[in-house]
Amino acid sequence: MNKVILITGASSGIGAATALMAGKQGYHVCVHYNLNQAGANTVKSQLLASGVNVCTCKANLSKEEEVINLFKTIDVQYGRLDVLVNNAGITLPQMKLIHMPASRIKDHFEINTLSTLLCSREAVKRMATSSGHQGGVIINISSMAAILGSPNEYIDYAATKGAIDTFTIGLSKEVAQENIRVNAIRPGLIYTDLHAKAGEKSRVDRLKNLVPMQRGGMPEEVARAILWLASDDASYITGSILNVSGGR
């Protein structure tokens, strides 16, 4: 039986690369998006062209009701959920803390952190063996910003990712006996549109010489790590955070 994977924020970047790669590995794929419907439709079309069973779902994941409805859609479409990739998130324009309004900080935490907790809650309900399910895997997308702090750029974003790291460790212990594994990926400097949205399209090129491998990473390199953690090859790994950062 094909496993079902939900990837949040799958309309571009790392999420889109993961969705396309998951389809090639035999998953049924749920492509979540919020604003970028065109991108989600492009990913869906590519998957359909490869014969993959795919659905697209729109939801603002900072809204509890919309998260619940997203998972109800998966219940109707597939009747199961095997893997959740909590990838959705935002990075707002670079600035120092002294200039940050509370509304910006709140947006970062609601979209990057609250959404991960809400989606994970709904996934656990559909994976836990104590509820009659078969278990599953949750993979949270953190960031090297959680370690480096992103001073002068977006320390509020970095703080949201530090919270994701802590949440990953705690949830992994909470659901280990439910046959649910919970891990995280910390991408480093990756060529995605995230940097342009934060106001610096060429940020990866500016900083790549700080990386021991002397280059930025590609979304597909992160996707391979995500899907490895989701696979049975990582069956004894939970509560771990894997850096995909070129050594930085």
The model's pLDDT over 14-33, given as tens digits with 9 standing for 90+, comes to: 999 999 999 999 999 999 99
Token pair in block for residue 96: 């120092």
Amino acid at 145: A
On the question of pLDDT at 61 being above 90, the answer is yes
Mean pLDDT of 209-231: 96
How many domains would you assign to the chain? Answer: 1
User: Residue 198 pLDDT > 70, yes or no?
Assistant: no
Instruction: For 101-125, write each residue's pLDDT tens digit.
Output: 999 999 999 999 999 999 999 999 9
Q: What is the pLDDT of residues 35-47, one digit of tens each?
A: 999 999 999 999 9
Task: Write out the residue range of the structural domain in which residue 38 sits.
Answer: 4-244
- Residue that the structure tokens 């949270």 belong to: 140
Give yes or no for a contact between 223 and 14, defined as CB atoms under 8 angstroms apart.
yes
Q: What is the CA radius of gyration of the chain?
A: 17
Q: What angle do CA 173, 83, 117 make, to 5 degrees?
A: 55
Output the domain CATH number for residue 208: 3.40.50.720
Q: How far apart are CA 29 and CA 52, in angstroms?
A: 8
Average pLDDT score over residue span 188-206: 83
Q: Is 33 among the catalytic positions? A: no
pLDDT at 74 over 70: yes
- Report the C-alpha gap between 189 and 192 in whole angstroms: 9
> How would DSSP label each residue in 27-80?
-EEEEEESS-HHHHHHHHHHHHHTT--EEEEE--TTSHHHHHHHHHHHHHHTS-
- pLDDT for residue 193: 79
* Catalytically annotated residue among 27, 78, 154, 157: 157
Residue 72 has pLDDT above 90, yes or no: yes
User: What angle do helix axes 155-174 and 102-109 make, rounded to 10 degrees?
Assistant: 30
Q: What is the overall mean pLDDT for the chain?
A: 96
What band does 87 get if pLDDT is binned at 50, 70 and 90? very high
SS3 content of the chain, % helix, strand, coil (to 5): 50, 15, 35
Query: What is the spatial distance between Cα 137 and Cα 6, in angstroms, rounded to a whole number?
Result: 11
